[in-house]
Amino acid sequence: MTTLFVDVIIPVPIPGYFTYRIPKEWDSLIEIGLRIVVPFGSSKAYTGVIVAVHHTPPKNYQAKYVLEILDEYPLINASQLKLIEWVASYYMCTPGEVFQAALPSGLKISSQSKIQLNPTFEEWEQLTEKENSFCEFLKGKESCTFDEAKLFLEVKSPYHLIKSLVGKSAIIVFDELKDRYSPKVVRKIRLRGDYLSTEAITTLINSLESKPKQLSILLHYLRFIPVLKDASYNEKGLEKKSFTQAELSESSLQSLIKNGVFEIFEQIVSRFAGEDDSFIPRDFKLSDPQNRAFQEILAGFETKDVALLKGVTGSGKTEIFIRLIQEALTNGDQVLYLLPEIALTTQIVIRLKKIFGEQLGIYHSKFSDNERVEVWKSVAEGKYQFIVGVRSSVFLPYKNLGLIIVDEEHEQSFKQADPAPRYHARDVSIVLANMHQAKVLLGSATPSFESYFQAKIGKYALVELNERFGSTQLPEIRLIDTKYAAQAKQMKGGFSTEMIEKLQVNLEAGKQSLLFQNRRGYSPYIQCQLCEWISQCSQCDVSLTYHSKDRELKCHYCGYKEPMPTRCGACGSTQLQTMGYGTEKIEEEIQLHLPDARIGRVDLDTTRSKTAFNQLIHEMQSGNLDVIVGTQMVAKGLDFDGLSFVGIFDADKMINFPDFKAHERAYQLITQVAGRAGRRDQQGEVYIQTNQPAHELFQFILDGNYEGLYELEMVEREGYHYPPFVRLIKLVIKHIDENKVDLAARDLGRALKDKYGPGRILGPEKPLIEKIRNLYAQEILIKLEKGISLSKFKKSLREDLDLAQTWNVFKGVQLVIDVDCN
């Protein structure tokens, strides 16, 4: 019998696969898609996945033995492996990097992993003796390293034990870089086992007749948890706060617990359950326009794999999605619903959860690893037929996807910026759908021009929904010329008097307002009034933002912070002034103008925890806030019935941003934010402050003329060779030494220009921010016209880059490849 070898993807950035040999006794256990633990380097070990089984030893190295087999059946299926390979090849990165992004940490235990006890674990009786002693060991610590675990357990390879404990939810495995996990826990009450028969409950009720308070607690429980009908309901229990909310006696409840009638237990709950009690009808009716769009999508799917639904804000795209999802599920298909960032769109998740219940799994990068492992397994086992998730959910183990919906498809956050794989989840989802012969529906009020282009040339089906639901009109938008206002002395700080008056009127009418300033902090920089010195980050080529709450200067790129200086860093004068506007300053000024208004702020600083965000949204919904000040976080999918006015600051910055997509993005963002105003029978109003009201972009925005802007942009992009007429690949060269970056970039640029022609190679050029975290950068942009074979070009480019990295000037230089960087 000859030795078996396996090719394995391991989560490290090496090109291709690594080959290992299988100990004879495991020959019959080996299968493609199984996870195994393999040694790497002198002392490391990783979880990898088998992609091929064969008898050929590797040519250039001695294959090491596989250390452990973690699975009995493949946890990663063939189409997932195919997708990983596709992403690696398309985005010019390694399968290991894709594997790293695709699997939650809990599924790829490595010698680098950290381990903590799951704080809510209770089922100690499930553990073996050894597992139990390891958990006891963990109890006293925040976490332990893999090596510490090895040492404590006195074994060479603790993988099996750790895997088993992850499976029992007793421990949590995480990567060092990620935050530790803190679950959301509720306290619940349930009957003790002795009281689960009809006789026992009847006896209990009789015995409590003299204690009416305790009796009413028992009856309250039985009303919500009908154990008499089915004893298994008791398992779930009733939230403790249900009793308090019903104003039942706390001390009587305690006596019932003390007397052994009830027991108290804790349960981890989904962060999306029960946060919103609004009534959501399951069997709503589509309006006529919605129904027409629905039928058009179905018709489009007859001949095309992708449909684009362009529906104005408030047109009720969600109802159409729900119908399509229901249909797919009825056909026995799996459905994936991709959203940009779920934390920001809880309203829709709550709604979907209420409609689809147990079939629906949520996959979010902010969830704990155990939760993500759980979702992974539930998808593999077919428990979840419907996944709502962020971009990495394209990598889940689907078996029979029938439909993928990409909501807000124009959102930039679908593209991963860092680290590799720098993939675009929308584009990957189209490839994924293709593997499953599934359909893709892209949805947006303001589609990305590249998707709209595909629809216009007939590659995608195009469905438009131009009427808002009910009789609501689109908001009325008005421009305020801040240059003129300043001359006429009609500016008070960052506010025009018109804006202030409008806010006052709105407040007096009991209506809500939203102020959009796409910049957090108090002011983007501070400046010396004598010598014009500006506070700069020492590690990055950016100014430091002043945050008034902490009285600190912070770098938004590297996280560096320092206390607000009292003196100028150059001349020593004390005349330092905050310059420009961030959300904190807008909040402060509006409070001065409207002293009675209740104001909330939504930006990265106020919403670090997910509950904080939900809390603010809840306050706004229940009318406890009059004004909300926010960054683009508020532009996405939030609907407030009482919101009738939107004020937009700093529109000029968006318009003048040096990027070929600046106008498209400004149009999208302003239209999305403006769309928050007005609902039902009330037309909303939007004021935009700008010092260039004559800019052509505003005319398109005022008229809601997406089509017009699109046509104009297409002419320009075709003329100047930008997407969708060409494809862009960006090469970024980075090093701590500016000189070295310049030389390496210059030589690489020259070589590429010689080979591919100067028309296709632009740069090298300094990026907008030259230095981040002490690394200087230069960029080379590659433009590939249509008709060139992308895969051939990438192969050739890969060879060029591999060669370049052997040059002397490239020693120690970082090279980043970003495919479809637009």
Binding residues vs Zn ion (CB under 5 A): 528, 530-531, 533, 537, 539-540, 555, 557-558, 560, 568, 570-571, 573
Q: Is 227 helix (H, G, I), strand (E, B) or coil?
A: coil
For the bound state, the minimum distance from the C-beta of residue 552 to Zn ion, rounded and expressed in Å, comes to 13
For the bound state, the minimum distance from the C-beta of residue 572 to Zn ion, rounded and expressed in Å, comes to 7
Return the number of the residue (207 or 577) whose C-beta is nearest Zn ion.
577
Please state, in angstroms and rounded to a whole number, the distance separating the CA atoms of residues 126 and 148. Answer: 24
Return the number of the residue (107 or 732) whose C-beta is nearest Zn ion.
732
Return the number of the residue (572 or 759) whose C-beta is nearest Zn ion.
572
468 closest CA partner among 611, 302, 319: 319
Q: Which helix (H) or strand (E) holds 337?
A: strand 334-338
DSSP annotation string for 149-178: HHHHHT-S--HHHHHHHHHTTSEEEE-TTS
Return the number of the residue (776 or 810) whose C-beta is nearest Zn ion.
776
According to DSSP, residue 703 is labeled H
For the bound state, the minimum distance from the C-beta of residue 142 to Zn ion, rounded and expressed in Å, comes to 29
For the bound state, the minimum distance from the C-beta of residue 571 to Zn ion, rounded and expressed in Å, comes to 3
Side-by-side strand order, sheet with 512-516: 476-481, 685-690, 643-648, 512-516, 627-630, 599-602
Q: Is 255 helix (H, G, I), strand (E, B) or coil?
A: helix
Q: Which helix (H) or strand (E) holds 747?
A: helix 738-756
Burial 69-96 (b: 16+ CB within 10 A, else e): bbbeebbbeebbbebbebbbbbbbbbbb
Return the number of the residue (557 or 725) whose C-beta is nearest Zn ion.
557
For the bound state, the minimum distance from the C-beta of residue 336 to Zn ion, rounded and expressed in Å, comes to 37
Return the number of the residue (571 or 612) whose C-beta is nearest Zn ion.
571
Instruction: For residue 117, give both structure tokens.
Output: 């006890």
Return the number of the residue (81 or 568) whose C-beta is nearest Zn ion.
568
Nearest 5°: phi and psi at 688? -115, 125
For the bound state, the minimum distance from the C-beta of residue 546 to Zn ion, rounded and expressed in Å, comes to 14
For the bound state, the minimum distance from the C-beta of residue 817 to Zn ion, rounded and expressed in Å, comes to 24
Return the number of the residue (574 or 796) whose C-beta is nearest Zn ion.
574
Please state, in angstroms and rounded to a whole number, the distance separating the CA atoms of residues 211 and 321. Answer: 53
According to DSSP, residue 399 is labeled S
Return the number of the residue (145 or 536) whose C-beta is nearest Zn ion.
536
For the bound state, the minimum distance from the C-beta of residue 562 to Zn ion, rounded and expressed in Å, comes to 11
Instruction: For residue 82, give both structure tokens.
Output: 């195919």
729 closest CA partner among 809, 792, 772, 793: 793
Return the number of the residue (563 or 787) whose C-beta is nearest Zn ion.
563
Return the number of the residue (361 or 580) whose C-beta is nearest Zn ion.
580
510 closest CA partner among 379, 623, 607, 401: 623
Return the number of the residue (556 or 746) whose C-beta is nearest Zn ion.
556
CA angle 392, 398, 400 (to 5 degrees): 140
For the bound state, the minimum distance from the C-beta of residue 539 to Zn ion, rounded and expressed in Å, comes to 4
Q: Which helix (H) or strand (E) holds 779?
A: strand 775-785
594 touches 645 (CB < 8 A): no
Please state, in angstroms and rounded to a whole number, the distance separating the CA atoms of residues 189 and 237. Answer: 5
For the bound state, the minimum distance from the C-beta of residue 538 to Zn ion, rounded and expressed in Å, comes to 7
Burial of 258 (0-12, 13-18, 19+ CB in 10 A): exposed
For the bound state, the minimum distance from the C-beta of residue 532 to Zn ion, rounded and expressed in Å, comes to 7
Burial of 782 (0-12, 13-18, 19+ CB in 10 A): buried
For the bound state, the minimum distance from the C-beta of residue 812 to Zn ion, rounded and expressed in Å, comes to 22
Nearest 5°: phi and psi at 526? -115, 150
For the bound state, the minimum distance from the C-beta of residue 541 to Zn ion, rounded and expressed in Å, comes to 8
Please state, in angstroms and rounded to a whole number, the distance separating the CA atoms of residues 153 and 161. Answer: 9
Return the number of the residue (387 or 555) whose C-beta is nearest Zn ion.
555
